[in-house]
Every structure is written in structure tokens, then in C-alpha cells.
Amino acid sequence: MTRIDFYVLNSNQTQARLQFACRLAYKAWEQNRHVYLHCASEAEAEQLDELLWSFRADSFLPHALHPDQPAEAVVCGWGDDPTPHHDLLINLSNDTPDFFSRFNRLAEILVEHDPILTPARERFRFYRKRGYPLKTHQIRTAG
């Protein structure tokens, strides 16, 4: 059964959400995990793709956009088919991905901004009602 972690950042900035997604993806990649970063749109996936190139000055995180290189260890995607990924799903959309249950782990990253928190509460209730193991982490961000 998919393990689901909610990361609640003490920020109201949506950019903090993307920065944390990069950090989480990097940490998972260091542990030889495969990561699918699920974005709400192609534009958001492209923005995250750009951020992944530059979020760490001291190292490099190999990644790609899903349609271009779906088998890369870390990919940014949108839409409904994250094939071949099934390890770690980082959800940056405001919807419950139809395919979330095929993943070993799901990370929901939230900031203190109602357009993000309100649908996240609905997803939390959805997962809890279906018996998924849930864990919430309060994350303090710099600045």
C-alpha cells in the first residue's frame, strides 16, 4: 500500500513548494530512488525542470521532462501516464493523481496558501477514508 507523506511548509510562497520538491527529489535520488514529479501543467513542469538545473550550486541532479526521457531517474511530468515510474511520486498538482496507488510512496508538498491547502485537505480525507498510511511533517523554511 502506498505510504503518503504530507510536507507542510511554514511559507505562503508557492516557489517554496517547488524548492522543497527539488530538495526532496535530490535526497531520494541520492538514495537510488526513482522520482516522478507530477505537475499541474506542462508550464509548471517546465518551470520545475529549469529550477532542477540550478537549485544547488554545488552539485547536479540528472533529470528530464517525462515526454522527452521517461526512463530518467528523476522526471517532471503532467497528465495521466507516468510510465515507467512507480517508486516516489511528488504531487505538485491540486488533484489526486489517478495513478498514485501504483507508487510505493507519495509526497504531497503544501504551503500556507488557501488555493493549495483547501484541495490538500480534501486529498488528505480521501486517502484517510481509504486506509492509506498518512504522516504529516511540519517543515520550517529559511527566511
The confidence band for 9, taking pLDDT boundaries of 50, 70 and 90, is very high
pLDDT of residue 94: 95
* Contacts for 82 with CB less than 8 Å, ≥ 6 apart: 36, 38, 66, 70, 75, 89, 97, 99
pLDDT tens figures, 54-86: 888 787 788 999 888 888 999 999 987 899 999
> How does DSSP classify residue 98?
T
* Cα separation, 88 vs 104, whole angstroms: 6
Q: Is a pLDDT exceeding 60 seen at residue 143?
A: no
Q: What is the mean pLDDT of residues 2-25?
A: 95
In the structure grid, which three cell numbers stand for residue 17, read together?
513548494
pLDDT of residue 78: 94
Can you tell me which residue has the cell 496507488?
101
pLDDT of residue 125: 98
* Cα separation, 37 vs 94, whole angstroms: 13
The confidence band for 92, taking pLDDT boundaries of 50, 70 and 90, is very high
Share of the chain above pLDDT 90, in %: 82
* Contacts for 137 with CB less than 8 Å, ≥ 6 apart: 5, 6, 7, 8
The residues facing 3 across adjacent strands are 105
> Do 111 and 16 contact (CB within 8 A), yes or no?
yes
pLDDT of residue 81: 86
pLDDT tens figures, 21-51: 999 999 999 999 999 999 999 999 999 999 9
Between vectors from CA 67 to CA 117 and to CA 16, what angle results, nearest 5°? 30
pLDDT of residue 54: 85
**Average model confidence (pLDDT) for the chain?**
93
